[in-house]
Chain A
Amino acid sequence: MAKTHIQFMLNGQEVEALVEPRELLIHVIREQLQQTGSHIGCETSHCGACTVDLNGESLKSCTVLAVQANGGDVLTVEGLSQNGEPHAIQAAFMQEHGLQCGFCTPGMMIRAYRFLQENPSPTEDEIRHGMSGNLCRCTGYQNIIKAVQVAAEKMQSE
């Protein structure tokens, strides 16, 4: 099968890849572009571990073709920290123990990033709905919700 040349912005850097049309965005990001922060959980668009930001929207990159990102702007968890400093969301997840095994965390944080852009001062209920596309099998969610709350407050005061 002929490969297609694609190019897009990944965490502020222009990247390119040769892909088969059937290749999923998550596979190209992890395997070709070596950005392994975004995880592969269920591969059925349920768990949210593969969540990335494409053109300003959260989506599950296991259910998007890499060719569909051509010309787009992708943000993954690797793009959150600036100048070696953890992003407010990362700091809040550490402070509030918003993780145990950490597998869901990159998806949680990149989803929280977009959610807080859309709703900078959410209620707890809004956070629960906003984060409902990401599953965690360890924490019971309480500390994740708290982390997003704390991150919202930090980002508001910055």
Chain B
Amino acid sequence: MIPGTFEYHAPTSLADALSLLGQYGEEAKILAGGHSLLPMMKLRFAEPSHLIDINGINELRGVREEGGQIRIGAMTTENQLIASQLLWEKCPLIPEAAKLIADPQVRNKGTIGGDIAHGDPGNDHPAIMMAVSASFVLAGANGKRTVAADGFFLGTYYTLLEEGEILIEIQVPVPPAGSGYGFSKLKRKTGDFATAAAAAQLQLSGDTCTQINITMTNVGASALKATDAEQHLRGKVIDEALISEAAEKAMAICDPAEDLRGDVEYKTNMAGEMVRRAIRQALSRAKGE
């Protein structure tokens, strides 16, 4: 399997990449880690005439803290996320989820930005990004704009990213004290996409949940944010009964595609179980248990 023919460009600055993207428009695709795009090109599901490889743009890599936010360069690889002491200290949900993505070789190439921008509902970072209330910095010919992760994912392979734009940075607010996170992913084997996965991040004031995000992977056309389930728990002292009710509300918005991983009913029920586990884990972490 070999991709169709294309012209290869390897800019070393963001300005050059944006100018190439402006020049070739919809004929061009951005190559990040390549572990989604190259397989699609081999199958001829994608046939760009111009491939703009942004691996040589060093300014797009790395994790740093600035102004109370974690800032992650879009070209930071999964293994670089896992190796980031800063992330483990300040936002461990991200590296914990990254550890369950693909396998060691793929994690050396796959990037957080590519995973987000591709818009595949099976990718894990979209749900994680909504769980941690991240924002994305999109660069285009006319400058930069920052958009919230919640609302960015519009459908399968369909995001707010417009033609001529490149996702360059992910900004994550550092969770305050009293926060807890949970992540639960069911997959058939190493390297597979999730059958269903869920992430939760919540804050407690005393025993009361003041804020919670609940998100799901691969049970809809895009990553899903279970807003009814969140609403059900906000302002309450979370117990098992409430967790079950919240999971029911999360399941109500699932619309998974039947495939070899399971039928609609199975995947929906597994999504519910992943949600229950993620909330329980987040709760116990927030309580410092």
Docked complex Cα distance between A57 and B33 (Å): 13
Please state if B104 and A45 are interface contacts (CB–CB under 8 Å). no
Contact with A along B9-28 (1 / 0, CB 8 A): 01000000000000000000
Contact with B along A32-75 (1 / 0, CB 8 A): 00000000000111101001000001111001110110000000
**Which B residues are in CB contact (< 8 Å) with A132?**
103-104, 190-191
Quick check: is B53 within 8 A (CB to CB) of the other chain? yes
User: Could you tell me the distance in whole angstroms from the C-beta of B56 to the nearest C-beta in chain A?
Assistant: 9
Please state if B53 and A68 are interface contacts (CB–CB under 8 Å). yes
Contact with B along A72-83 (1 / 0, CB 8 A): 000000000000
Docked complex Cα distance between A109 and B106 (Å): 17
Stretch among B35-43, B214-222, B248-256 lining the A interface = B35-43
Please state if A45 and B51 are interface contacts (CB–CB under 8 Å). no
Please state if B2 and A133 are interface contacts (CB–CB under 8 Å). no
Q: Which of A22, A24, A111, A129 counts the most chain B CB atoms within 10 A? A: A22
**Which A residues are in CB contact (< 8 Å) with B38?**
63-65
Contacts A63-B34, A68-B53; A23 near B2 (Cβ below 8 A): yes
Quick check: is A21 within 8 A (CB to CB) of the other chain? yes
Please state if A43 and B109 are interface contacts (CB–CB under 8 Å). no
We find that the number of chain A residues with CB closer than 8 angstroms to chain B is 29
A→B interface (CB under 8 Å): 1, 4, 20-24, 27, 43-46, 48, 51, 57-60, 63-65, 67-68, 111, 115, 129-130, 132-133
B→A interface (CB under 8 Å): 1-8, 10, 34-35, 38-39, 41-42, 51, 53, 55, 79, 102-106, 108-109, 190-191
Q: What 17 additional pairs, Cβ within 8 angstroms, besides A21-B6, A22-B2, A65-B38?
A: A21-B7, A22-B41, A46-B191, A48-B105, A57-B108, A59-B105, A63-B34, A63-B39, A64-B34, A67-B53, A111-B105, A115-B104, A133-B102, A133-B103, A133-B105, A133-B190, A133-B191
